[in-house]
Structure 1
Amino acid sequence: MLRVGFVREFFEAPVDLPRIHELPRSDSGEWQGIAAFAVAYLADSPVVAEFTETDRCLLGCGENLVGCSSLFTDGSWVWRRDLAHYAGRHGVLLPPEFVERMRGFDWKPPADVVDGPLARLALQTAWQVA
């Protein structure tokens, strides 16, 4: 399973991940043309773990992000709920392989992909620090 949208600020221990301000961003017409589809895919995918905390946007827009560390998966990728905010509001780019996967599903996440073993793998992948 692949992790997407995770940054150093999400972990207490040092990890080899970029800082949130280092993530590639775009306001290009090409990205804007697919961003709404990508955000819907991110938000509509199966939930692996639901958390109820609230935190402020790390990119400084001031928005409160409820349940930001809740985890979602499409069976191959795992991400946090707040990735939809960062991609849609701040133009954070998603890996091309992930965008192609979403496009391959016609921007509709696969349903019923999460079973016990897959959920455990998603949780393990999401919070892996080494």
Structure 2
Amino acid sequence: MISSFLFQSAAPLPLDEIRAHLEALPTVRRDRWDDAVYIVADDAATLQLVTDARENSGDEAYPRVAALVRLYDARIDFSLQTREVETVRVFARWLRAGHDVAILDEAFKDISSECDDNLDYLFGTPRKRRLVAVGFFRELKHGRADGPSLREAMRDKGKPGESRIAAYLREAPILLHAVGPVTDVFEPKGDYICAPNIHTDGVYAWPEDLAHYVERYHVALPAEFLAHVASAKWKAPTDVDTATVELG
């Protein structure tokens, strides 16, 4: 893994497009004190730790637990301060695929020829990240024996934003495809709901029918998951590299 490198373009880069792409990623945030810098983490907790530290300490050093991306007119600088680099790797791959850039090390030596499509030379061999399971209720056939209780999670009334949460759950990429009909556990002879697929946003994973239980029974989901979804502005990512994650 190389701790510092940059992508150099011969022409100005479309910074508005690049900013929009970064800001759509759920574990990326623009720095409080420097608009040109983005903090890139692999999980919401790490992102919150760094942003809190920056808020509380002013324009001082960053906690060395995340990656930093700095935007210039025709260049993007990368600083890797952690080995948890899959989110920034995905961004770098997107940037390289869509723009004509050379890759330079911190001495400004061109190392483009040494970088494969996965950018292992820069980021190292990917390690599979363990996803956090949510919504695998123990009452479900595809749930977990040690999972939370669906009945205990049910609420009489929904809360604001419930429809956006359900849409997020449905729109996230599928991690594991499965076959067979899934029906409401309380109406086993009722209509088919979905297939027993598992979806992921790269941080969490959940069964496909979770959206149904959120909408119909207003099930309460973990606060940290809801905060994660809100931080992504209720927009699920579309480009999760499922080869780099696993369901624990």
Same fold (TM over 0.5): yes
Q: 1:117 to 1:93 in 2, by over 3 A?
A: same
Matched residue, 1:115 = 242
For 1:58, the aligned partner's letter is V
Is 2:180 aligned against 1:56? no
> Once the two structures are superposed, what CA deviation does each residue of 1:63-99 show, in whole Å capped at 9, x if it has no partner?
32220x2010111110000000000111111111111
Give aligned-pair identity as a percent.
Answer: 29
Q: 1:11 to 1:85 in 2, by over 3 A?
A: closer
- Out of 58, 68, 72, the position equivalent to 2:199 is 72
SS in 2 for 1:78: strand
Q: How does 1:10-89 map to 2 (within 5 A)?
A: 10=140, 15-28=145-158, 31=159, 33-60=160-187, 62-67=190-195, 69-89=196-216
For 1:42, the aligned partner's letter is L
Aligned residues: 116
SS in 2 for 1:84: helix
Q: Which has the higher contact order (CA 8 A, sep 6+)?
A: 1
TM-score norm. by structure 1 comes to: 0.77
TM-score norm. by structure 2 comes to: 0.43
Question: How many angstroms apart in 2 are the aligned matches of 1:85 and 1:25?
Answer: 14
Is 2:131 aligned against 1:7? no
Question: How many angstroms apart in 1 are the aligned matches of 2:180 and 2:153?
Answer: 23
Does structure 1 conserve the Cα–Cα contact (< 8 Å) formed by 2:138 and 2:147?
yes
Q: 1:23 to 1:63 in 2, by over 3 A?
A: farther
SS in 2 for 1:8: coil
- Out of 193, 205, 217, the position equivalent to 1:90 is 217
Does structure 1 conserve the Cα–Cα contact (< 8 Å) formed by 2:199 and 2:206?
yes
Matched residue, 1:128 = none
Q: CA deviation at 1:26?
A: 4.4
Q: CA deviation at 1:112?
A: 1.0
What root-mean-square deviation, in Å, do the aligned CA atoms of Structure 1 and Structure 2 show? 2.1
Q: Give unpaired runs (5+ residues) of structure 2.
A: 1-130
Question: How many angstroms apart in 2 are the aligned matches of 1:66 and 1:52?
Answer: 9
